[in-house]
């Protein structure tokens, strides 16, 4: 791979990134007044769908053989649920739940 080939790859990636970020603003403008009902519906539906997908992915290999195998999972899920019910912020819920889970798994049983 020579320098020209590398520069072309970087240029294509840069243009693709720029276009994927600019196209929504080009299509819908800066406000919600031109956004269709379907896009708004998907915007409301997507965060819970992503959280459900993450939950299924996280619990796919859970083993109930010993308490240490599932206690941390259920604790982090419980905290995530409580935070989400209190503040209704998907990003905060996922971040706090993930951080708590990592602290529990990595920190309690060294």
- Model confidence pLDDT, tens digit, residues 35-80: 778 888 998 999 889 888 988 988 888 888 878 778 888 999 999 9
**Is 94 found in the same domain as 51?**
yes
**Is 56 found in the same domain as 27?**
no
Q: What is the pLDDT of residue 109?
A: 60
- Residue 21 domain boundaries: 1-35
Q: In this model, does residue 10 exceed pLDDT 90?
A: yes
**Is 30 found in the same domain as 12?**
yes
Q: Count CB-CB contacts under 10 A for residue 35.
A: 14
| pTM of this structure | 0.60
Q: Does some domain include residue 40?
A: no
Q: Does some domain include residue 50?
A: yes
Number of residues assigned to the chain: 110
Q: Does some domain include residue 94?
A: yes
Number of domains the chain is built from: 2
Half-sphere CA count of 99, side-chain side, radius 13 A = 7
50 contacts: CB under 8 Å, gap ≥ 6: 90
- Give the C-alpha distances (Å, rounded to integers) separating 57 from 33, 34, 62, 90: 36, 36, 10, 17
Q: What is the mean pLDDT of residues 24-29?
A: 81
């Amino acid at each position: 791979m020579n320098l020209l080939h590398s520069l072309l790859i970087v240029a294509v990636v840069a243009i693709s990134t720029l276009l994927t970020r600019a196209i929504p603003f080009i299509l819908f403008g800066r406000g919600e007044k031109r956004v269709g009902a379907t896009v708004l519906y998907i915007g409301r539906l997507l965060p819970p769908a992503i959280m459900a997908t993450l939950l299924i992915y996280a619990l796919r290999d859970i083993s109930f053989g010993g308490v240490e195998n599932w206690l941390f999972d259920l604790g982090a899920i419980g905290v995530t649920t409580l935070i989400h019910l209190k503040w209704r912020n998907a990003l905060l819920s996922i971040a706090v739940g993930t951080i708590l889970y990592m602290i529990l798994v990595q920190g309690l049983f060294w």
